[in-house]
């Protein structure tokens, strides 16, 4: 499932959902990279 996260104040990343964390953050995979941030 595609999800969008926000990293910092103005950078967003869209990728495949990898993991969810207890503090509300999620991680998404884009190619070989994994990014962690707050859902948009």
d(CA 37, CA 40): 9
The pTM assigned to this predicted structure is 0.86
Q: What is residue 24's predicted lDDT score, i.e. its pLDDT?
A: 95
Model pLDDT for residues 1-40, shown as the tens digit of each residue = 999 999 988 999 999 999 999 999 999 999 999 999 999 9
Quote the Cα angle for 30-18-39, to 5°.
85
Backbone dihedral region of 7: left (phi > 0), alpha (psi from -120 to 50 degrees) or beta?
beta
Q: What is residue 37's predicted lDDT score, i.e. its pLDDT?
A: 96
CB 14 within 8 A of CB 2: yes
How far are the Cα atoms of 3, 5, 24 from residue 20, in angstroms, in the given order?
A: 11, 12, 7
């Amino acid at each position: 499932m595609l999800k969008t996260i926000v990293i910092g104040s103005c950078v967003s990343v869209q990728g495949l959902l990898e993991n969810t964390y207890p503090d509300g953050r999620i991680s998404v995979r884009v190619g070989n990279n994994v990014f962690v941030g707050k859902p948009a």
